[in-house]
Amino acid sequence: MNDNEALRAPGHCLEPAEIEAFVEGRADQLAAHVEACPACSHVAASYREFLEADVRADEKADIEWIESRLRKPAPKRSWFAWLGPSPMPRWAFSLAAILLIVAGSLQLRRMAGPGLRTPETGASVVRSSQVHLQSPSGDVETAPDFFQWDPVDKAAAYEFQITEVDGTPLWTGRTNQTKLNSAPDIQRFMLPRKALLWRVKALSASGGVIAESASERFKVLPSASR
């Protein structure tokens, strides 16, 4: 490279490889042009910021793994080498390369999110099962005399709740059985044509929730009578 090329006027942007060489301290003669050219100055600053960025501790292992997968015995190539001839301005390709790297970094952070982290140990309970409700369900001829569900392993008690269809609680109680009789306090809500929801939570001996059901809808038909 001669002095005329090193001191080219602003607007005649440097090649990506020249920007890389300047930022890495291998082409100090390009300093005058980089300082005078806004486009080249911006690209050089962005590339320098990328090189100097700190890697978070929780990202280091993932980055090293990716680098080991991508590393090949071939000669090292410039990070701009993939850019081919194009009618677009050279600085636009440099910016595009930086944006791609930044986007890759963001994707790496998403990959390192809660879905890929080792679960923390603690006293929290993992809900590995669901309470299966048996009856009542759907339209029923008569107001049900009881509510019944399948047992859950290691459950010490069950919390029963009946609600309006919008989730407003009407009655809540506990039992150590898998069947709850319809007490008068519950029966008074079972009006003809009135839809209700009910659900059950399985509780451990300490009172923690180990499983729960989805809400089951039922409605007493108009002809129902007790």
Close Cβ partners of 140 (under 8 Å, ≥ 6 residues apart)? 218, 219, 220, 221, 224
State residue 91's pLDDT score: 59
State residue 11's pLDDT score: 53
Intra-chain end-to-end CA distance of the chain, in Å: 100
Inter-CA distances, 148 with 5, 129, 132, 205, Å: 86, 17, 9, 21
The matching CATH number, chosen from 1.10.357.10, 2.60.40.1220, 3.40.50.720, 3.40.50.300, for 129-220 is 2.60.40.1220
Domain positions in the chain are 3-116, 129-220
Q: Across-strand partners of 163?
A: 169, 197
Ordered per-residue pLDDT tens for the chain, 226 residues: 444 444 454 557 888 888 888 888 888 888 888 888 888 888 888 877 777 766 666 667 776 776 676 665 555 555 555 555 555 555 566 667 777 776 676 666 666 555 444 444 433 344 457 999 999 999 999 999 999 999 999 999 999 999 999 999 999 999 999 999 998 888 899 999 999 999 999 999 999 999 999 999 999 998 744 4
